[in-house]
Amino acid sequence: MQTVNIHEAKTHLSRLIEQAANGEPFVIAKAGKPLVKVMALNAPEATQVKRLGFMAGQITVPDDFDRMGSTEIEQLFGGEA
């Protein structure tokens, strides 16, 4: 996440707001100390972000997954097929 000092934020406020509205939040700092985080109003809350298992039931792994392509791999690396 981008951190900008107050002076830079004032100078480039329009560009920074545009970026935040497009999903790129930023932090405004004073003397290197973070003060505020600027993000889009429609951005999901930290508790709303769901990552693990979000595709559960949509993907299947074949039973032979750990052996897929083994013949080609052995040939490429000089093994006997």
Q: 17, 39 in Cβ contact below 8 A?
A: no
| Residue 58 CA, distance from chain mean position | 21
Q: What pLDDT score was predicted for residue 43?
A: 67
Name all domains of the chain by residue range, CATH numbers in brackets: 2-76 (3.40.1620.10)
> pLDDT by residue for the chain (81 residues), tens digit each?
899 999 999 999 999 999 999 889 999 999 989 999 999 888 666 666 667 777 788 888 888 889 888 888 888 888 665
Q: Is 72 helix (H, G, I), strand (E, B) or coil?
A: helix
Question: What is residue 56's DSSP assignment?
Answer: T
User: What pTM was computed for the model?
Assistant: 0.52
Q: What pLDDT score was predicted for residue 47?
A: 66
User: 58: buried, middle or exposed (CB in 10 Å: 19+, 13-18, 0-12)?
Assistant: exposed
